[in-house]
Amino acid sequence: MAHKKGVGSSRNGRDSNPQMLGVKRFAGQFV
pLDDT (average), residues 2-13: 52
H-assigned helices in the chain? 2-15, 21-30
Interval 8-27: pLDDT, tens: 555 554 555 555 555 555 55
Query: pTM of this prediction?
Result: 0.14
Which is nearest to 9 in space by CA: 1, 27, 18? 18
Residue 5's pLDDT is what?
A: 54
